[in-house]
Amino acid sequence: MTRARKSALPPTERLHPRADDLDLLSVEAVVRRLHQEDLIALRAVREALPSITAAARAVAEALRAGGRLLYVGAGTSGRLGVLDASECPPTFGVPATRVQAAIAGGRRALTHAVEGAEDDVGAGARAVRAFRATARDVVCGISASASTPYVRGALDAARERGARTVLVCCNPPGPAMRADTVVLARTGPEVVAGSTRLKAGTATKLVLNAITTAAFVSLGHVYRGRMVDVRPTNVKLRARAVRMVAELTDLPPARAEALLEAAGDNVKLALAMHFTGLPAAQARRRLKDTGLRGLERPKARRTSS
């Protein structure tokens, strides 16, 4: 391939300058080289922090107004969107409807390559229509290449319906791929050319984590670094909930567990009951009015870092 044709390739498709000898290296050397590339992914995300912040603010505003975050992607990018969406309910205690995801090729594409699915512009548009996206929503297209037709169709349909749009990508998008906010993590060539499941995927996961976590923190779903809206649906989460109540109230574990039970296993409500000394119904109203920071006792305020 000529130098001109090589430069015409998008960065994530180009041959890495240090990859030619990859198949000659020991396993340890390959692992070390992959780790070096992961550090590039971190730096790429750091350079994108202003646009990540803008995306997180847009998502927070949409969620606060009753809207949703709707991910749309293909391949690795689509799977990462499904992963992030599926982890928001157990982490932040929100309904699964608040963050949803569509992947080119449907459910089968979560575990199998569905050939040609990402090339279907119309399918991306249909996914957005199936979401019934409105002006209250944010549609976030995820495409490492910044050229996936499925994602382009989704973003075009989202704009037609008045939704705000975000594009998370690792290549600069062309004029056909438009979004209100572009989060570009410039990860460059992969050590296995074109395999964006590597550092492009790592960067994308970091970006999605930051967008949803920052949005839900700003909406009050985290208190003093703890997931106080967690739903204690198994033994591990139950133990975590009791531990949070005990740590934040200075109560012994047995009393913390009793308080949690009185609050219907709602950590945030249990804390509000403790801070106010009120029964559940009244504490719930106070919590809604002021949030936990407004209810915490002076001692808790003095010990905050």
Residue numbers annotated as active site = 87, 118
Cα separation, 196 vs 76, in Å, equals 7
Cα separation, 149 vs 112, in Å, equals 19
Cα separation, 216 vs 33, in Å, equals 35
> Do 173 and 152 form a contact (C-beta atoms < 8 A)?
no
Cα separation, 93 vs 140, in Å, equals 21
| Signed CA dihedral, 152, 155, 159, 160: sign only | positive
Q: Coil, strand or helix: which one is 155?
A: helix
> Do 112 and 139 form a contact (C-beta atoms < 8 A)?
no
Q: Tell me how far the alpha carbon of residue 33 is from its chain's centroid.
A: 27
DSSP letters spanning 79-110: HHHHHHHHHHHHHH---TTSEEEEETT-GGGG
- Name the DSSP class of 296: S
157 phi, psi to nearest 5 deg: -65, -35
Q: Which long-range contacts (CB under 8 A, 24 or more apart) does 234-241 make?
A: 237/90, 238/265, 241/265, 241/267
Cα separation, 198 vs 34, in Å, equals 8
Cα separation, 295 vs 275, in Å, equals 6
